[in-house]
Structure 1
Amino acid sequence: MKRSCFIIVLFVSFLLWAGGVQARITLPSFFSDGMVLQQQSSVAIWGNSDRKLQKVTVKTSWNNKKYTVTTDESGSWKVKVETPVYGGPYHIEMNDGETVRINDVLIGEVWLCSGQSNMDMRVGGRYSDPVIGSLDAIVTSGNPDIRMFTVGSKMTSEPLTDCEGEWQEASSETVPGFSAAGYFFARKLNQVLGIPVGIIHASYGGSRVEAWMSKEGVAPYKDLPDVHNASILYNGMLSPVIGYGIRGCLWYQGEANVDAPDLYTQLFPSLVSDWRQQWGIGEFPFYYAQIAPFNYNKGEGKGKNSAYLREAQVKCLHLIPSSGMIVLTDVGDDRTIHPMEKETVGNRFAYLVLGRTYDKKGFPVTGPLYKSMQTEGNKIILSFDEMGKGLTTYRQPLNGFEVAGEDRVFHPANARFGKDAQTVVVSSPEVEHPVAVRYAFKDYVKGCLYNMSGLPASSFRTDNW
């Protein structure tokens, strides 16, 4: 009996020992079943192994090609694989003595979406803020070619290498909990391009821009309003996914920085440069949403007009290479900082991306942007870029303009379209010799000026007072 027990114990010990010598590859959460890889690119895949200074092979099923890499002294490894034109599903096998397999891999277009609560707002709405059209969007959302990954919310003092999250196929069960702006963007992109789209979403409500910058990126700025929270979201939510193959980034943030618009024109371009440097894949497209008008000061006249932050975002167009901005002056709500028309946000991102990144033609990609002014007597004639076929208010009054003379006092202006609706002519009986014009340059305002394709004009001012 004792001999039998000894043999059993010896056999079990052998099995445990044999299992122990078998290596095991571990991967970050986003390298998992259902993921989307950027097409026609050299994309990085990385992980860890129990085996140090040993070979790991990676085999991709779309071309049956094997890649070999050696783990470092901590067991970490990283390899770049070549991806084909869109398609799938495929699988990827990794072996360090034991095989790990990722199934249901699609090849398509991958975009990162980030920012604060307006990017984080879900298709199904949140708290007391609904999304217009959410029910129909959810009911019709089933699409195996749209895959979504939400990075788990986390703030940390040091950069992380992994995050919580999983790839989910678009369906009526998964879409309600995903970023509304991100989903509507992906849906339009998939509809037009007809290829798989992967969206990685990493946002956090109420976050300032500096929270999303690395310690190195934020280091030059010594007098931040919220220095203690600098880098905490970069560390906890962005750092894990840095290096994942993407086509570009969508950004919807700025509401938390309305108190420092001048600083924003420094921080935001630095963030973009920081991310591009950290990613190491070149000057990838970076598109962002101008914040929507909202009554930040609650009508009390306290603090600074948030139009200055919108102006700062316009300035960033000239400071950030390969960038673009969507305008939301017509969707703001004075009762909530979270506009309900998130499908409009997602679609406008898609129009911009389709025109700028995918070279689709025949339509403007953004709304009118102030170009120049010319004074004629008691009138000022305003010219714009990005007009498309002309300007319109969709038969509503042309409101929101103000004009000032040398005394720098602004008065409501009469406004009309010039010849062929290519310009706007403004004047005021209170201002005999006008020198400056402002449009929609208030904390909260409902924009009414569009191009003929329905894209709104940004608020602007011609002065620098």
Structure 2
Amino acid sequence: MRTKLLLLLIYSVFLNFTIKAQKLASVFTSNMVLQQQSHTPIWGWAKAGKNITVTTSWNKKSYQTKANSNGKWLVKVSTPVYGGPYSINIKADSTIILNDVLIGEVWLCTGQSNMEIPMKGYKSQPIAGSVDAILKSANNNIHIYTVPHSSVTEVQENSKPSQWHVASPEFVANFSATGYYFGRLLNEMLHVPIGLISDCYGGSSSEAWMDPDGLKDFSEIKIPAKTDSIKDVSRTPTTLFNGMLNPVIGYNIKGCIYYQGESNYERPDQYEKLFPAMVKRWRQLWAQGDFPFYYVQIAPYDYAQLPPYNAGKKYNSAYLRDAQRKSVNIIPNSGMAVLLDVGEQATIHPPQKEQVGTRLAYLALAQTYGIKGFDYASPLYKSITIEGSRATIRFDHAENGLTSWNKPLQEFEIAGKDKMFYPAQAVISGSVIIVSSPVVKEPVAVRYAFKDFVVGDLFGTNGLPASSFRTDDW
């Protein structure tokens, strides 16, 4: 009996050592999608010095490497044009086989709760039309992966285990609604497999997704020491980068969609610099150049409902929306989806997520995939010209004109040198807006929909809402 127990113990130790010694990064599983026509990295761990052979079925090619002194290894495999399913064979101490691998377009979907909220909704917080969409979601050419939550003070090489899944009601119900609607339209229009990686944490701040090097120009942001406790798991600087983002950096992606900003609303001046710095740093770390980055301008909401119940001045989230608006011209190869028509005063999670994913997909289909012939973007403030008592506002992305759906524009304000804003008369003239007020004889500034909660009433002829804006910097 003692001999059997000893043998069992030895076998258990050996098996445990083998499992620890040879494994793939968590993001590499069966059903995954790899970016087409690229040299895409695959990595894992084995015994130090162990020879690794990776064989891909689409070209029958084998790639050899050796695990370094820490046991890590990496190879870059060449991927063909879209297709599949294929298999990948990884051989070291034993053999790992990944089946049902597709080649297509891979997108990272990241941010806070409005990106994370699943198709089935949060408890008592619905997603409009989700039951029908979930029911019809089975699609062998859309595969989804969710990075598990992890907030830690020390950078991690690997994330917690998860699995790639083929789109079906069971799995789509629990996947990012914004991400799913984005990927669904891409698949419909491009006719290629789509891989979606959801890497989100509700309530997260931008700085939580950044590493110390990315935050080096922000001395006011305190980076926790490795031994510090984490009081706020989603808003402590660097902790989500450490546990959730760093482990997938390097997985070859086509681009990123991002929905975040609500947790930074009270610091718009900082965000104006922080957000572009985050994007720049991510691109440096991915080493894929200026990959497409499409993001969502946060929806209107009454933020004074949230602790610490701030109201007025720059606690008005319109300032954060304006920082995001300005970022389009700062971040190369970017675009912004506007939600000024779908915000909800009573909930920070607007249920109209199909519009969000669709508007992000419009940007990608036009700017990344080059589909022409459709008007894909929201009007964005471009310039102001003042003549006498009238201000003329011009827009980007309004070549086919502007509309208010034949209703009066009620969200424009105008101010003179006293910096006091008054309700303004605003008239559409083709692609410009003429703004005036009998109270302001010598205008110097105009604002549109510059409130915490507001329902936008200005649209492009394409039906997409114009962004809120201000022409001043007060």
Find the aligned partners of 1:105 and 1:64 in 2 and give their Cα distance: 14
Does the residue aligned with 1:291 lie in a helix, a strand or coil? coil
1:311 and 2:318 correspond: no
Q: Which of residues 449, 454, 473 is equivalent to 1:464?
A: 473
Find the aligned partners of 1:125 and 1:14 in 2 and give their Cα distance: 48
Find the aligned partners of 1:128 and 1:230 in 2 and give their Cα distance: 30
1:46 and 2:55 correspond: no
The aligned residue for residue 357 of structure 1 is 368
Q: Which of residues 420, 425, 448 is equivalent to 1:439?
A: 448
Letter in 1 for 2:357: G
- Any idea what the Cα deviations from partners look like across 1:225-263, whole Å, max 9, x if unmatched? 897711000011111111101011111100111111111
1:185 and 2:182 correspond: yes
Map residues 91-170 of structure 1 onto 2, 5 A cutoff: 91-164=87-160, 165-170=162-167
Where structure 1 has 5 or more consecutive residues not aligned to the other structure, the ranges are none
Deviates more, 1:169-178 or 1:394-403: 394-403
- Any idea what the Cα deviations from partners look like across 1:311-361, whole Å, max 9, x if unmatched? 111121222112111111111111111111100000000000111111111
Query: Contact conserved, 1:25 with 1:100, CA < 8 A, in 2?
Result: no
Q: 1:151/1:413 Cα in 2 relative to 1: closer, same or farther (>3 Å)?
A: same
Q: Which of residues 9, 29, 33 is equivalent to 1:32?
A: 29
The aligned residue for residue 67 of structure 1 is 63
The aligned residue for residue 344 of structure 1 is 355
Find the aligned partners of 2:131 and 2:17 in 1 and give their Cα distance: 53
Q: 1:434/1:56 Cα in 2 relative to 1: closer, same or farther (>3 Å)?
A: same
Query: Contact conserved, 1:364 with 1:388, CA < 8 A, in 2?
Result: no
The aligned residue for residue 280 of structure 1 is 287
The aligned residue for residue 58 of structure 1 is 54
Map residues 317-336 of structure 1 onto 2, 5 A cutoff: 317-336=328-347
The aligned residue for residue 269 of structure 2 is 262
Letter in 1 for 2:151: M
Does the residue aligned with 1:177 lie in a helix, a strand or coil? coil
Q: Which of residues 381, 387, 395 is equivalent to 1:376?
A: 387
Find the aligned partners of 2:8 and 2:409 in 1 and give their Cα distance: 84
Deviates more, 1:376-385 or 1:114-123: 376-385
Letter in 2 for 1:65: K
Map residues 170-181 of structure 1 onto 2, 5 A cutoff: 170-181=167-178
Q: 1:225/1:94 Cα in 2 relative to 1: closer, same or farther (>3 Å)?
A: closer
The aligned residue for residue 215 of structure 1 is 212
Deviates more, 1:267-276 or 1:337-346: 267-276
Query: Normalising to structure 2: TM-score of the pair?
Result: 0.91
Find the aligned partners of 1:318 and 1:456 in 2 and give their Cα distance: 19
Find the aligned partners of 1:17 and 1:338 in 2 and give their Cα distance: 49
Find the aligned partners of 1:20 and 1:177 in 2 and give their Cα distance: 32
The aligned residue for residue 241 of structure 2 is 234
Find the aligned partners of 1:447 and 1:339 in 2 and give their Cα distance: 15
Letter in 2 for 1:438: R
Does the residue aligned with 1:430 lie in a helix, a strand or coil? coil
Letter in 1 for 2:110: S
> Alpha carbon RMSD of aligned pairs, Å?
2.5
Find the aligned partners of 1:434 and 1:189 in 2 and give their Cα distance: 45
Give how far 1:52 is off. 2.2
Runs of 4+ in 1 over 6 A off after TM superposition: 8-24, 225-228
Q: 1:120/1:14 Cα in 2 relative to 1: closer, same or farther (>3 Å)?
A: closer
Query: Contact conserved, 1:329 with 1:458, CA < 8 A, in 2?
Result: yes
Does the residue aligned with 1:218 lie in a helix, a strand or coil? coil
Give how far 1:435 is off. 2.0
Deviates more, 1:389-398 or 1:23-32: 23-32
Letter in 1 for 2:449: A
The aligned residue for residue 233 of structure 2 is none
Query: Contact conserved, 2:215 with 2:221, CA < 8 A, in 1?
Result: no
- Any idea what the Cα deviations from partners look like across 1:100-141, whole Å, max 9, x if unmatched? 110000000000011111111111110221111111111111
Letter in 1 for 2:179: G
The aligned residue for residue 301 of structure 1 is 311
Give how far 1:143 is off. 0.5
Find the aligned partners of 2:343 and 2:10 in 1 and give their Cα distance: 68
Query: Contact conserved, 1:112 with 1:250, CA < 8 A, in 2?
Result: yes
Find the aligned partners of 1:292 and 1:226 in 2 and give their Cα distance: 29
Q: 1:433/1:106 Cα in 2 relative to 1: closer, same or farther (>3 Å)?
A: same
Does the residue aligned with 1:173 lie in a helix, a strand or coil? helix
Query: Contact conserved, 1:114 with 1:202, CA < 8 A, in 2?
Result: yes
Does the residue aligned with 2:271 lie in a helix, a strand or coil? helix
Deviates more, 1:362-371 or 1:37-46: 362-371
Give how far 1:18 is off. 10
Corresponding pairs, count: 458
Find the aligned partners of 2:112 and 2:251 in 1 and give their Cα distance: 21
Give how far 1:390 is off. 1.0
Letter in 2 for 1:381: T
Query: Contact conserved, 1:363 with 1:388, CA < 8 A, in 2?
Result: no
Q: Which of residues 388, 398, 409 is equivalent to 2:409?
A: 398
Sequence identity percentage: 49
Give how far 1:161 is off. 2.0
Letter in 2 for 1:44: P
Query: Normalising to structure 1: TM-score of the pair?
Result: 0.93
- Any idea what the Cα deviations from partners look like across 1:287-315, whole Å, max 9, x if unmatched? 11111111112497346211111111112
Q: 1:423/1:57 Cα in 2 relative to 1: closer, same or farther (>3 Å)?
A: same
The aligned residue for residue 78 of structure 2 is 82
Q: 1:93/1:464 Cα in 2 relative to 1: closer, same or farther (>3 Å)?
A: same
